Amino acid sequence: MAQLDVAKIRADFPIFDRTVRNDRRLVYLDSGATSQKPRQVLDAERNFYERHNAAVHRGAHQLAEEATDLFEAARATIAQFIGAQPDDIVFTKNATEALNLVSYSFLNATIKSARGKALPEGASRFVLAEGDEIVVTEMEHHANLVPWQELCDKTGAVLKWIGLTDDGRLDLNSIEFTARTKVVALTHQSNLLGTINDIPAVSAMARAVGALIVLDACQSIPHMPVDVTELDVDFIAWSGHKMLGPLGIGCLWGRAELLASMPPFITGGSMIETVHMESSTFAAPPKRFEAGVPMAAQAVGLAAAIDYLNDLGMDNVAAHEHRLTQLALDELAKLPGVRVIGPLVATDRGSAVSFVVDGLHPHDVGQILDEHGVAVRVGHHCAWPVCRRYSVPATTRATFYVYNDESDVQALVDGIKAAQKFFGVGE
Amino acid sequence: MNLENMYQEIILDHYKHPHGKGLKDDFAAEVHHVNPTCGDEITLRITPNADGTLTVSYDNQGCSISQASASILFDQINNVSLEQGTEAVDHLIAMLQRTEEPNEDILGDGIALIGVAQYPARVKCALLSWMAWKDAAIQATGKGE
């Protein structure tokens, strides 16, 4: 395994050329919200617009051909990154939309079925009845919770959840899956706690009752090797912008036979097979789920991000972050009045490190850190129920990525100490 | 550091020793306002008095700015009329938007919140209790807009 050359990596990211707040070095510890972008990604996007810009899958001209080829090549690169087939990757505007695509497949199949409308073969797996169960976990991001709450509201299905242990892990004894359990939706890595979940264990429970498994991989795919052929799940949603890619693009991977049996979500141009005034038929996946002119430049940018990560090696990325996470946990443990919310050990744990400082509100901690050039996130991190579970109103969260090193951990620690000193707490 | 403009001693003092914190049992209107991005919360109650003034009580949790601002609110607009309180709320908003110069006669210690104006993300913290007061005051007096 090779150590990442952080100085060389940082040189690829133009944003590190600037300073923040009174000429401070930028210590960017908010990659869990969105990552910074290397020049290679920006160049790829710019090159698309400057040399090949056209609406893909339309037009009889050379630019349209080139744009389409680049777009589909990007899909292939992204698919290969997670061991998938290109046609099983659907582009969405973000991970939230990808998760909604799945939840709305259930809703639309249920509504159409009740009205006796034609559905793709196999769609019965997506038809819910009153009393069916949808299982999530207590550590979900709102994006993998609220869509399922809404689906339950509209169909009469019942929402259940896997609870959490005091040390920030899933409590698999807190729930029993039943024959009524149709969907199990969970995160691969908690965006607040950092916990990496035992997906094989949950999959085994779900498979035993025939439930479909939806994985939110927003915090895992950017940070560690993920291979769909090794994970026994049915859908994986994630975003491009957290993995060095552009804003405005997310991905959904689904098992081919499931995607083929799902009714469309967003409808319009591109996603059709035939259209008459009375009705329409729909294209095969992935196009069935990609209505309108797609985000080709962003797909090309995301493929460039994946090339960049592949050059670093995802094993190396994971090992690098693991080392920083271990260091951060060790250093925070030494600070009086600072408490980490989530696993205190780096085992089965990603680099999202949330903490509270006794006597200080996270907003005030974040403000002092910002004054020191340290960018963190404060609040409930779109995972409000997790904060309630651990009886904290909010946390301060640092997340580490490929461009961070030990000096950034030290800057975080120094900033926390400065906040404690400023407000006269700790010690 | 610039921050000291925002975290003036007077603000930190209100934060550490808030005035009037604690809910009264007697009230005509109660509101619960939250800042959904950071989880700051306030429950605020209003009781109209015979002379037309409004008694306020509150309980809250949140950052230093939101806590200090609620404490200052209590100093400035507890037991004033709807009109006088609304004038103070409107002036605080205008001050934080930098469209009016701080007026100590209206805001008292609240003029120290001017430092918040340079941090747009914190303006909501400073306004949370004041917007809750306005909401509750209008409900309590039945003078909806």
Q: Could you report the per-residue pLDDT of A277-332, keeping only the tens digit for each? A: 999 999 999 999 999 999 999 999 999 999 999 999 999 999 999 999 999 999 99
Active site residues of A: 382
Amino acid B1: pLDDT: 46
Can you tell me the ipTM of this complex?
A: 0.87
Query: Is A177:A206 a contact under the CB 8 Å cutoff?
Result: yes
Q: Please state, in angstroms and rounded to a whole number, the distance separating the CA atoms of residues A425 and A201.
A: 43
Amino acid A205: pLDDT: 97
Residues in chain B with CB shorter than 8 Å from the CB of A361 are 40, 62-64, 67
pLDDT band at A426 (very low <50, low <70, confident <90, very high): confident
Phi and psi angles of residue A330, each rounded to the nearest 5 degrees, phi first: -65, -45
* Residues 6 or more apart whose Cβ sits within 8 Å of residue A195: A139, A168, A169, A170, A189, A342, A343, A348, A349, A350
**Nearest-CB residue to B125 (from A363, A380, A384):** A363
What's at A383, amino acid-wise?
A
Residues in chain A with CB shorter than 8 Å from the CB of B38 are 362-363, 378-380, 394
Question: What is the tens place of the pLDDT at every residue in A121-154?
Answer: 999 999 999 999 999 999 999 999 999 999 999 9
Question: What is the tens place of the pLDDT at every residue in A332-379?
Answer: 999 999 999 999 999 999 999 999 999 999 999 999 999 999 999 999
CB contact under 8 Å between B62 and A362, yes or no, is no
Identify whether A286 is preceded by a cis peptide bond (ω within 30 of 0). yes
Distance from CA of A169 to the nearest CA of B (A): 23
Distance from CA of B50 to the nearest CA of A (A): 38
Q: Is the pLDDT of residue B45 over 60?
A: yes
Point out the least confidently predicted range of A140-149, A190-199, A345-354, B110-119: B110-119
Residues in chain B with CB shorter than 8 Å from the CB of A362 are 38, 63
Amino acid B41: pLDDT: 93
Distance from CA of A110 to the nearest CA of B (A): 33
Q: Please state, in angstroms and rounded to a whole number, the distance separating the CA atoms of residues A339 and A357.
A: 6
Among all residues of chain A, which has the CA nearest to that of B38? A379
Question: What is the tens place of the pLDDT at every residue in A101-114?
Answer: 999 999 999 999 99
**What pTM was estimated for this model as a whole?**
0.94
Inform me whether the C-beta atom of residue A46 falls under 8 Å from chain B C-beta atoms.
no
